[in-house]
């Protein structure tokens, strides 16, 4: 099978929305490409005294609605096209949530699992020394993403502040609490997904109490999704998978105990009381809700006709291809699209920006309440478009987001 190019998929999704909205050709073409992108070469001294060369990226996709916002990934397969795609999705994500932000993304092609903490710190600081000239609280605000952590954000914020000569906590979000981080950030993506799922379950008339679920991916987002699904809705988690394999128990899996097992062993495999399954078997399992919470491109034209979940709640970015979207829609499977379902993370990152700007910090209850309000309103706007236009769910979400970005560009006189 040909490898999926995430940026081609992102453009395809935009093209479908542009056609449905009747966008003029200039606006459509402007939205197909990033406004700015930076490719940098990073030299990092390793612990053994050698110097390694790394390739880094920062893409500012569109800033018509405000400063660009988006994570930084450290990954061996990072490419310019993955960063472009993720920056595009961030643009639509901030717009569908009606946040006063644009979309950006960054990355470094590296394998952080093979690096010491000291080497990671030197890499993080090298990245900011190169990319910092296009960052800032009013310009572009990064955040953690795959293989980056609050500690990495702390080093990056410190390096940026050193370059400026004064503290700039608002240049980056997802920071540790003592450095201006926000309460409620660790589980924000999963919590936002649960609020969106709750709203979807209401309109679809699916009782979540005791509903069954399967989770693909059990990193930070997947773990919090499992724990919150059980705490908020008492859902029964039938299966969980990660990059090493999957586990299944028809009587349910305790998400908190599994998270502890992963901390101790590094994988969900060999969790007591479970049978082994493959990732593909998990995706095609009989369950009320499927949570893709790992990587892009896992539901495709090749397996979409075998998905049996009633709702696909996309906690990962880009897990479903455009062809699969149409197949799922035709089969009556409701997809909660990534730009809505996993937008809790960027929403609480936005809250962190606001708190940094005011130097005044909210309680955890306030964060949860504000996130609940934002997710509920965003779902209502999306679902109204879904009903009005009679299209598949992702297209409805894109129509909301793209129309908002296009309106901002027109008001500015860009197109």
Q: Which among 335, 338, 339, 341 has a CA at the least distance from the CA of 386?
A: 335
Nearest to 247 by CA among 224, 276, 273: 276
CA distance 294 to 223: 11
Catalytic residue, candidates 69, 105, 236, 374: 105
Q: Please say whether the beta carbons of 69 and 63 come within 8 A.
A: no
Task: Evaluate the CA torsion angle 266, 269, 273, 278 in order and state its sign.
Answer: positive
Q: Alpha-carbon distance 236 to 99, whole Å? A: 34
Burial (0-12, 13-18, 19+ Cβ within 10 Å), 137: middle
First to last CA, the chain: 39
C-alpha pair distances (Å), 49 with each of 52, 54, 112, 121, 291: 10, 16, 18, 15, 44
d(CA 53, CA 41) in angstroms, rounded, equals: 7
How do beta strands 51-62 and 140-144 pair?
unpaired
Active site residue 410: no
How many Cβ atoms sit within 10 Å of the Cβ of residue 275? 10
Query: Residue 130 corresponds to which tokens in the numbers above?
Result: 């190169």
d(CA 175, CA 180): 6
Q: Would you state the structure tokens that stand for residue 414, as one six-digit string?
A: 């860009």
Active-site residue numbers?
105
């Amino acid at each position: 099978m040909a490898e999926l190019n995430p940026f081609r998929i992102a453009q395809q999704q935009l093209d479908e929305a542009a056609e449905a909205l009747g966008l003029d050709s200039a606006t459509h073409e402007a939205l197909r490409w990033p406004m700015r992108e930076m490719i940098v070469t990073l030299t990092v001294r390793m612990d053994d005294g050698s110097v390694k060369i790394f390739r880094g990226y920062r893409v500012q996709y569109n800033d018509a609605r405000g400063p660009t916002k988006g994570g930084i990934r450290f990954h061996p397969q990072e490419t310019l096209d993955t960063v472009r795609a993720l920056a595009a999705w961030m643009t639509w994500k901030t717009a569908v949530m009606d946040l006063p932000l644009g979309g950006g993304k960054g990355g470094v092609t590296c394998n952080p699992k093979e690096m010491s903490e000291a080497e990671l710190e030197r890499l993080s600081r090298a990245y900011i020394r190169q990319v910092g000239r296009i960052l800032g609280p009013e310009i572009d605000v990064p955040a953690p993403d795959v293989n980056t952590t609050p500690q990495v954000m702390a080093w990056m914020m410190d390096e940026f502040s050193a370059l400026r000569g004064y503290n700039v906590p608002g240049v980056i979000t997802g920071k540790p609490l003592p450095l201006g981080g926000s309460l409620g950030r660790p589980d924000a993506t999963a919590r936002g997904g649960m609020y969106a799922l709750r709203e979807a379950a209401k309109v679809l008339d699916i009782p979540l109490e005791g509903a069954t679920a399967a989770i693909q991916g059990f990193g930070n987002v997947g773990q919090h999704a499992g724990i919150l699904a059980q705490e908020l809705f008492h859902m029964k988690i039938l299966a969980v998978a990660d990059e090493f394999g999957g586990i299944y128990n028809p009587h349910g899996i305790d998400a908190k105990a599994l998270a502890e097992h992963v901390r101790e062993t590094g994988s969900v495999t060999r969790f007591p009381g479970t049978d082994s399954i493959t990732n593909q078997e998990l995706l095609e399992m009989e369950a009320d809700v499927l949570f893709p919470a790992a990587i892009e491109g896992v539901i495709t034209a090749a397996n979409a006709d075998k998905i049996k979940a009633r709702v696909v709640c996309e906690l990962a970015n880009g897990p479903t291809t455009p062809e699969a979207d149409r197949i799922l829609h035709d089969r009556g499977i409701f997809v909660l699209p990534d730009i809505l379902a996993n937008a809790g993370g960027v929403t609480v990152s936005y809250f962190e920006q606001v708190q940094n700007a005011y130097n005044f910090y909210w309680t955890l209850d306030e964060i949860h309440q504000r996130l609940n309000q934002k997710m509920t309103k965003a779902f209502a706007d999306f679902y109204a478009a879904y009903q009005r236009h009679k299209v598949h769910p992702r297209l409805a979400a894109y129509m909301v987001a793209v129309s908002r970005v296009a309106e901002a560009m027109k008001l500015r006189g860009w197109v």
